Amino acid sequence: MSFVSESPEQTAANPGGVDPDWWRGAAIYQIYPRSYQDSNNDGIGDLSGIIHRMDYIASLGVDAIWISPFFRSPMLDYGYDVSDYRDVDPMFGTLGDFDALIERAHGAGLKVLIDLVLSHTSDQHPWFKESRSSRDNAKADWYVWAEAKPDGSPPNNWLSIFGGSAWEWDAERMQYYLHNFLTEQPDLNFHCEDVRHQMLDVARYWLERGVDGFRLDTVNFYFHDKELRDNPPLDPADRNDSTAPSVNPYNFQDHIHDKTQPENLDFLRSLRAILDEFPGTTTVGEVGESQRGMQVQADYTAGDALLHQCYGFDFMASTYPAGTVVADVLTRFGTVAPDSWACWAFSNHDVVRHPSRWNLGDEARRVFAALLMSIRGSVCLYQGEELGLTEAYVGFEDLQDPYGKRFWPKFKGRDGCRTPMPWIADHRNGGFTDVKPWLPVAVEHLQRAVAEQEADATSMLDFYRNMLAFRRAHEVLRKGEIRFVTVSDGALSFLRCHDGAEMFCAFNLSGTAIPVEMPPGDWRIDRGAPFTTVTTERGLQLPPYQACFAVRQDG
């Protein structure tokens, strides 16, 4: 084994035009619009605020943005309770603002994905108001209605992710309706053909407005078991907190009847057929399934007629991502879904930010970020992740999330990862707004504000930009196959291979230096990556929380 060290020329991928396969290996930046930038001083972020920050987003080097819901909504679940799928809620702006955002993003070289919440609506949606008005109206079967048991109890034992029964009694129809989340979020009945057609029309509407695809919320929740059979209990040894917090009895059931039904595949084929009419568009499905999530991801992305990619919660649970854990997840995915494409994330708007969840210092945050951007698959980065933000503490008096209020104090909800983005350190609200924000700005976040990090060449922000640039410069990192070389709790190394190119990637996930043995052959250490590596006469010595990337020279 021999190697040399030099800095190669780096060129942006696909300099000659648009890659229809751009989504494969893309870096997607998630924006939670309520908390990104307030442009009109009402304390709530909006679409104009995103437009105002588009240069910053483009400077990160990501390929696309995913915008959490901005549709009309009573905001009981902050946009995930939709009352009009074809309009922008006034607190976020107008359809004209959205069109301007699309134009601005595309002008900056960014694709735009929007969050489609198709499994349920708000109870304020006109469809539900009509559906609940009688048992024989035109939309009577657009939602999931069922008779009470003879004793008046709910039709079965299904539970809501937000706590309690998944059934709510409606005195107008004298029936129960299904809600997998808040009682104010009734589930649509996807067994109804009119509902399926309406949802496909919603997708077409936004594609015609210029979006480049969708993040599909709770994509495996669309259909339910027509027979409304009880879910069986789950062995306590199989319970985990990847879909719901450990304090939630939702984890006590094996959810084989209330979601992930086989009929969903036909609907996903219909949805994909519409996207295929708009070349270069993509889908990212969110699979909320603790026991069979990886198999569902495989089923939903098999072939070329379903979803392009899915993500589960393998790396968004509390389990620390030791090298053995990461290798196990990726190996299982490669076995279960060898022809599928995954999308991986450490953080999003629903989970505790991963630096707090895994208790990572700055050096560990860097090496895990590099690992995320080096494994096979696309990646989602959540706003503020590039700043190294930790989970914010939000007192009960400031809490907005109904999920947190329901399970406080054992589970504090999702507000801690949703606090406003800090832009300026010496502004009381971090430059997010000039008035009281909808959630308080975390004081500890101000020292990590964008303006502070822009002026520091050693900052977390600078690291993310450099690592994203490195990833973009090497197609093998974005689209290559993966083959593990060494695996332990504290270290991980693998080869990425694509179109004749090979890259060796090694990660020290521990606090002590380790030796790294490369595969046989001649290798060049690629100094374009934002890491320090130390070479010795005995080979390569990797300092704590550092990574090494090398390119094969004798291929």
Q: Are 427 and 437 in contact (CB under 8 A)?
A: no
More confident residue, 1 or 164: 164
Using CA atoms, how far residue 487 sits from 301, 375, 430, in Å, is: 28, 14, 42
* Nearest-angstrom CA–CA distance, 10 and 462: 17
Mean of pLDDT values over 94-111: 98
Is omega for the bond preceding 519 within 30 degrees of 0, making it cis?
no
| Active-site residue identified among 89, 97, 187, 217 | 217
* Nearest-angstrom CA–CA distance, 250 and 165: 9
Of the listed ranges 51-65, 156-170, 174-188, 282-296, the one predicted with least confidence = 282-296
Q: Are 31 and 418 in contact (CB under 8 A)?
A: no
Per residue in 326-339, pLDDT tens? 999 999 999 999 98
Q: What integer pLDDT is reported at residue 555 of this predicted model?
A: 60
Neighbours of 361 (CB within 10 A): 11
Collect all residues with Cβ–Cβ distance below 8 Å to 547 and sequence separation of at least 6.
367, 370, 371, 374, 505, 506, 507, 508, 529, 531
> What rounded mean pLDDT belongs to the chain?
94
Residue-wise burial string across 202-240, b where 16 or more C-beta atoms lie within 10 A, e elsewhere: bbeebbeeebbbbbbbbbbbbbbbeebeebeebeeeebb
Per residue in 426-458, pLDDT tens? 998 999 999 999 999 999 999 999 999 999 999
Q: What integer pLDDT is reported at residue 121 of this predicted model?
A: 98
- In the DSSP assignment, the letter for residue 460 is H
Share of the chain above pLDDT 90, in %: 87
* Nearest-angstrom CA–CA distance, 105 and 70: 17
Per residue in 460-498, pLDDT tens? 999 999 999 999 999 999 999 999 999 999 999 999 999
Neighbours of 99 (CB within 10 A): 14
First to last CA, the chain: 14
Rounded to 10 deg, the angle between the 460-473 and 362-372 helix axes is 20
Q: Tokens 């090494």 appear where?
A: 548
* Nearest-angstrom CA–CA distance, 79 and 94: 15
**Short-list 105, 22, 53, 69, CA closest to 341:** 22
Rounded to 10 deg, the angle between the 264-275 and 293-301 helix axes is 50
More confident residue, 38 or 5: 38
* Nearest-angstrom CA–CA distance, 257 and 220: 11
Q: What integer pLDDT is reported at residue 7 of this predicted model?
A: 38
Per residue in 272-316, pLDDT tens? 999 999 999 999 999 988 788 899 999 999 999 999 999 878 999
Q: What integer pLDDT is reported at residue 245 of this predicted model?
A: 79
Hey, which residues does 368 pair with through a beta bridge? none
Q: What integer pLDDT is reported at residue 18 of this predicted model?
A: 66
pLDDT at 15 over 70: no
* 23-121+193-470: CATH architecture: Alpha-Beta Barrel (3.20)
* Nearest-angstrom CA–CA distance, 149 and 48: 50
Sequence ranges of the domains in the chain: 23-121+193-470, 481-552
SS3 76: coil
Q: What integer pLDDT is reported at residue 533 of this predicted model?
A: 79
Mean of pLDDT values over 416-423: 98
Sheet with 282-286: list strands edge to edge: 309-311, 282-286, 213-216, 111-116, 64-67, 27-31, 378-382, 343-345
Is 277 in the active site?
Answer: yes
Mean of pLDDT values over 56-84: 98
Hey, which residues does 178 pair with through a beta bridge? 167
Percentages of the chain per state (helix, strand, coil), in multiples of 5: 30, 20, 50
| Active-site residue identified among 194, 208, 277, 398 | 277
* Nearest-angstrom CA–CA distance, 463 and 58: 15
pTM for this one? 0.95
Per residue in 225-251, pLDDT tens? 999 999 999 998 888 877 777 888 999
Residue-wise burial string across 443-473, b where 16 or more C-beta atoms lie within 10 A, e elsewhere: eebbebbbebbeeeeebbbbbbbbbbbbbbb
Is 217 in the active site?
Answer: yes
Look at domain 481-552 and name its CATH class. mainly beta
* Nearest-angstrom CA–CA distance, 6 and 526: 6
